[in-house]
Structure 1
Amino acid sequence: MFAQNQLIDFCSNDYLGFASSSVFRNNILAEYKTLQEQKNGSTGSRLLAGNSEYVENLEKKIALFHNADVGLIYNSGYDANVGLFSAVLQKGDNIIYDELIHASI
């Protein structure tokens, strides 16, 4: 999914071109029509508002695809970074980064 000028967008959250793809949009709308529980947006944090059955099923499919025990969808890049660094890094580990590191890290 490239723009007409064949550039890849690495500066927005649409670097895969999903937000500007009419094919992707139509597939999402078709899937949305099949849902019994039709909610727009997250409706709140999972901790306070509960989980979406649709998202839980999607996480299971992602885990199966990656041959993993579980999958987890984060609501933002910031939360994904917090989860990654909290779970992976251990006491005494060193992180090497430069001035181009994402602001959420």
Structure 2
Amino acid sequence: MPEFFMVLAAADAVDAPTDVGKMIGGLVQYGVLGLVVTLFLTGTIVPKATVQALSLERDNWRDAHQKEHEAHQATLVQLAKAQTSADVATEQGRAMVKLLEDFGHRPDTPRST
């Protein structure tokens, strides 16, 4: 390994002209690969299988949300029907109390002791 550093130092010491074409070629050759690898590692570029899996998961969540929404709407309809039935029962009770009072019956009220 020390010989390698000595060769590098000797090459730097020699006043050789720099070949710009080789530098640009190396940059283009490895630069694009480096850029693609960097984008892949940072998650900017993802494999097709990952995109398909995420798309499938998104569709599953959308279907689940739609089913939950429909179930919630059905629950609201049932609650409205139950409220209507309760209102009718309350009104019938009031009518019965009024009818009994008209016939002279007094409802018993709890006494406080």
Q: Tell me the TM-score normalised to structure 1 length.
A: 0.21
Name the one with the larger helix percent.
Answer: 2
- The structure whose RCO (Cα within 8 Å, separation 6+) is larger is 1
Q: Tell me the TM-score normalised to structure 2 length.
A: 0.20
